[in-house]
Structure 1
Amino acid sequence: MSSHQQQQQQLRRSLSRQPLAGRRSAAGSWQRYGHQLSAFVRHNCLTLRLLFDGQFSAAIMVLLLVGEFVLNIYIINRVKYTEIDWSTYVQQVECFVQNGTVNYEQIGGNTGPIVYPAGHLYSYSALYYLTNRGTDIRRCQYIFAAIYLLTLASVFRIYRRMDQMLPPYVFIVMCCTSYRIHSIYVLRLFNDTIAMLLLYIAINFFIDRKWTVGSIFYSLGVSVKMNILLFAPALLLLYIENNSLKNVAKNLGICAIIQLIIGLPFLASHPKAYLIRSFNLGRIFMHKWTVNWRFLPNHLFISPYFHLILLTLHLMTIVLFFKSRYIQCFKRIINVKKLTKTTAANVLTNNHILWTLFIANFIGIAYSRSLHYQFYVWYFHSLPFLLWSTPYSPKTKLCLLGLIEFSWNSYPSTSLSSGILHMVHLILLFGLWRNRSQYDIGSHNNNNTNNNTTKKKIK
């Protein structure tokens, strides 16, 4: 090949490269512009900041409370009230306030005998008189709307006191996906709502380290419905970790005394009937109402051996999650001198308290013998905290929340909805297990001890 031909080939190659290089430089420029635009929108667009920036959570919570106020009024006036247990509650109250019956075996209604502690009777006795002897349903709905708003305000304050705020869109999703929750409060008038309001008020006092006042509200919640006892293993742990022996005994005594005072009229006359009816751990539920065990045949669903297996798994999981902390508490109890101090309080944060309480409750729900639709309020408002305590991505967390909502909104429940609910519970439990070391007080104490030892050596 001559030198002239070689020069022509080199010229053609250089000309063919120029458009490609131009295209590449143009693509690179557009990519840079895209990144710059997305960064600008992410940091300066108020709408997105309102959804993702934790500093706007308080403003979003206020707006949601206002929106919920309007929404509840709309639901009460536009959606038909559904009678389920209200008439039974009224009949139970009438047995107590009109007939003077204090024998729990003789107190009942259309759907069966009373199965709740005396706090339930006192609460619905007040509602009975406030609603013209239970006949003014509309007024009662407004009262339960107020209970819902107070509950939501208490829950929002709990989330505001977290060590790290959740993004505001989480609270928007929580309120916008709560179709079943609104129904339970203002269309069904269940007593679960009153018990949970008292529980969330108690938790607010616990994270303020006001253990005595918190114990009062906690015991009041137990007096309305027994499900609040699911928090008891965690609360005992927190008592020992945060209080001296004297204060532990005082708080436990407060819980016990309140139960005795509230149940006194019934305990004084028919103690056995009251204890068996109001704290009936062996109660048999109806298979047609179960949300979580629809795929089981009825004979297995009511089997006492099946119930014993669930109870064993429940206790084992509690021990697995809190094993190291229980060991630390046991050591403190043995060494009474240590119980004069609050050693764990040095590292116990608000997130530790919330994680401990919400985990214990969730484990109890996951292994529950039966979940009815109104039981959704037992853990609905704690789900954002639990999900955002796992290592999963935000999309996965939202997907799990959506599947839980699907399961609880499937009426009647099916084998599919029950199976999905158990699957999501197991995934959530596994994610919490993977992140449990962040809330292990024992490991924190060990780390602090090691750090102090290292500092002394360095000095």
Structure 2
Amino acid sequence: MPAARKRPHISSLVIEKFMTEGPKVLFDPKYTSTISLLLWSFEIVINLFVITRVPYTEIDWKAYMQEVGGFLNGTYDYTQLKGDTGPLVYPAGFVYVYSLLFYLTSHGQNIRFAQYIFLVFYLINFMLVARIYQKTMKCPPFVLVFMSLTSYRVHSLFVLRLFNDPLAMLVFYISLNCFIDKKWYLGSFFFSFAVSIKMNVLLFAPGLLVVYLVENGILQTLRNLLICAGLQVALAIPFLATNPQGYLIRSFDLGRQFFHKWTVNWRFLSVEMFADRRFHALLLAAHLTVLILFAAIRWRRNISSLFQLINPKTRWNCGVLSIQPDQLVTVLFTSNFIGMCFSRSLHYQFYIWYYHTIPHLLWSTKYSTPVRLLIFGVIELCWNTYPSTNISSLALHASHALLLIGLWRNNGCVLEPATIEEKPSKDD
């Protein structure tokens, strides 16, 4: 009986395709999945090297374990949950996720095992992001190589710091993949769960609201919003039943002060101006203004077409367009990026909030490839300058401004019938 033929390894197949197809594998978006499979294999090796060779740095893990330890010991009053770094300031989903990690890691003591768990999280996150880029077909595959292999800080945030920011983004990318597949209810569930791990995911919400209305109409939008709100309430029931005011103040504290010494984007400001409430109000006003301008002029044709989305006489049961993956991703990533541009403070772990979105945003502009890579490189350099300096902070703002201007100047609006198939009314 002949011996069974041994199946070649995935990486061998990818290398063989590169040898036969030539450099176009790196430049043709249809090869995105091929390159991502090869990179995924490299990522296993890279992350194992980081875990075993680079010393773990304690920042928040111990405090996380103390915070959820109080919950597991029967404390449901959010104002009483705290760790060495201060009170618990994340929503209820964080408590449940890190409670599971608490048990899996011997009450948080087995840090090496926690690092391996976060290695799995990293690999899942990478494949989710790669699938988004494969679906949008906008960026050449070589961009994934830069995104995967160049950022030491992103690897560090997962396997050396064990922050909740990467977990929140991982769950967000699950939701985005669901939205791409038109699984709106499931996507809304995971989006809300991501928010419950860390509130930064709400920066995607303005773009998502416009997408909901464009694709589904008012009634379906309300159902999706109900799923989002319902999950938040369900997760918070033990805490709301004990001290509802304390839970809402602590877990959704929008006025929380940040320390100037950790800021990446506002280092060039004085401590007094950095903490000034008037400065915060100015940033919020600028954030809302730019969001409205993008929603009314770059995502829709004009302000009247934006208001048309909430006209119950015409759009109650049906949206106006069938949105394609590229348009969906562009709107959500832009919404989040605008929030990053006008953030009161960006700390080093916040890089993960938009790192994997940067290539898509850059290739949504009309800049040349060298300019795109230069902007990406400067952003990466700024986030890897520790501690931040006046120059690195100014350079980060300049890079953000160039990217934002590039997104604004891109011809045409994202959600317009001229570029997307018109969605028929259910009454037709």
TM-score with structure 2 setting the length: 0.91
Aligned to 2:25: 50
- Name 1:230's counterpart in structure 2: 203
Matched-pair contact (CA < 8 Å) for 2:218–2:312: no
Measure how far apart 1:49 and its partner are. 2.3
- Regions of 4+ moved over 6 Å: none
Q: 2:284 aligns with which of 307, 311, 317?
A: 311
Aligned partners of 2:185 and 2:149: how far apart in 1? Answer: 35
Q: State the match for 1:80 in structure 2.
A: 55
Contact 1:328 1:442 (C-alpha < 8 Å) held by counterparts:
no
* Corresponding residue of 1:368: 343
How far off its partner does 1:327 sit? 3.5
In the TM superposition, residue 92 of structure 1 has moved relative to its aligned partner by 0.3
Q: Does 1:258 align with 2:231?
A: yes
1:430 is aligned to 405
**Residues 410 and 116 of structure 1, relative CA distance in 2, 3 Å threshold:** same
The letter for the 2-side match of 1:284 is Q
Query: Which residue number corresponds to residue 328 of structure 1?
Result: 305
Report the alpha carbon displacement of residue 245 of structure 1 after superposing the two structures with TM: 2.9
Determine the structure 1 residue equivalent to 2:246: 273
Q: Could you tell me the percent identity over the aligned residues?
A: 48
Shifted more, 236-245 versus 194-203: the winner is: 236-245
Work out whether 1:105 is the aligned partner of 2:82. no
Aligned position for 1:196: 169
1:190-224 deviations in whole A, cap 9, x for unaligned? 00011001100000011111100000000000000
The whole-number CA distance in structure 2 between the counterparts of 1:181 and 1:393 is: 26
2 CA distance for matches of 1:284 and 1:271?
A: 22
Aligned match of 1:220: 193
Which residue identity lines up with residue 321 of structure 2 in the other structure?
A
Task: Give the whole-Å Cα distance in 2 for the aligned partners of 1:224 and 1:448.
Answer: 36
> 2-side partners of 1:267 and 1:161: how far apart?
40
Whichever of the two has the greater Rg, that structure is: 1
Q: Please give the secondary structure, in 1, of the residue aligned with 2:160.
A: helix
Please name the residue that 2:39 is paired with: 64
Amino acid at match of 1:334: N
CA contact (8 A) 2:217 2:309 kept: no
Pairing 1:171–2:144 present = yes
Partners in 2 of 1:355 and 1:316 — Cα distance?
19
Q: Give the secondary-structure state (helix, strand or coil) at the position aligned to 2:209.
A: helix
In structure 2, distance between residues paired with 1:313 and 1:237: 19
Give, in angstroms, the shift of residue 104 of structure 1: 1.3
Check whether the contact 1:437–1:443 (CA below 8 A) recurs between aligned residues. Answer: no
Q: Is the 8 A contact 1:53 1:168 kept in 2?
A: yes
Amino acid at match of 1:251: N
SS in structure 2 of the partner of residue 243 of structure 1 = helix
DSSP 3-state at the match of 2:316: helix
Instruction: Describe the SS at the equivalent of 1:205.
Output: helix
Cα gap change, 1:353 to 1:312, in 2 (>3 Å):
same
Picking from 403, 410, 419, the partner of 2:378 is 403
Where 2:44 maps in the other structure, the secondary structure is helix
Matches of 2:419 and 2:381 in 1, distance apart?
A: 38
- Cα distance between partner residues in 2 of 1:373 and 1:44: 39
Q: Which residue of 2 aligns with 1:184?
A: 157
Query: 1:339: which partner in 2?
Result: 316
Alignment partner of 1:282 is 2:255 = yes
Gaps of at least 5 residues in structure 1 are: 1-42, 450-459
- Answering whether residue 356 of structure 2 is matched by residue 378 of structure 1, we say no
Kept in 2: contact 1:198–1:221 (CA 8 A):
yes
Taking the aligned partners of 2:138 and 2:405, their CA distance within structure 1 comes to: 23
CA displacement at 1:101 relative to structure 2: 1.1
* Cα distance in 1 between the residues matched to 2:38 and 2:56: 27
Look up the equivalent residue of 1:136 and give its one-letter code: N
Query: How many angstroms apart in 2 are the aligned matches of 1:378 and 1:327?
Result: 32
Say whether the 8 Å CA contact 1:241–1:329 is kept in structure 2. no
- Structure number with the bigger relative contact order (C-alpha 8 A, sep ≥ 6) is 2
Distance 2:129 2:28 in 1: 19
Which residue of structure 2 aligns with residue 393 of structure 1?
368
C-alpha distance in structure 2 between counterparts of 1:144 and 1:136, whole Å: 13
* Pairing partner for 2:392 from 405, 417, 430: 417
C-alpha spacing 1:57/1:444, structure 2 compared with 1 (3 Å): closer
Contact 1:321 1:436 in 2 (8 A): no
Which of 130, 133, 143 is 1:156 aligned to? 130
Q: How far apart, CA to CA, are the structure 1 residues paired with 2:295 and 2:53?
A: 47
Q: Note the C-alpha offset of 1:46.
A: 4.5
Equivalent residues, number: 402
CA distance in 1, matches of 2:89, 2:406: 35
Q: Describe the superposition over 1:60-107 as per-residue Cα deviations: whole angstroms up to 9, x where unpaired.
A: 100000110111111111110000000000100111102x11111111
Measured in 2, the distance between the counterparts of 1:88 and 1:213 equals 32
Whole-angstrom CA distance in 2 between matches of 1:436 and 1:321: 13
* Residues 282-335 of structure 1, C-alpha deviations (whole Å, 9 max, x = no match): 000000000000000000000000000000000000011111436434224224
Q: Quick one: distance in 1 between partners of 2:100 and 2:304?
A: 44
Is the contact made by 1:102 and 1:269 (CA closer than 8 Å) also made in structure 2? yes
1:243 and 2:195 matched: no
Q: Report the AA paired with residue 347 of structure 2.
A: H
Partner AA of 1:200 in structure 2: Y
1:380 and 1:173 map into 2 onto residues whose CA distance is 11
- Partner Cα separation in structure 2 for residue 338 and residue 258 of structure 1: 26
**8 Å contact from structure 1 (residues 240, 329) kept in 2:** no
Q: What letter matches 1:219 in structure 2?
A: S
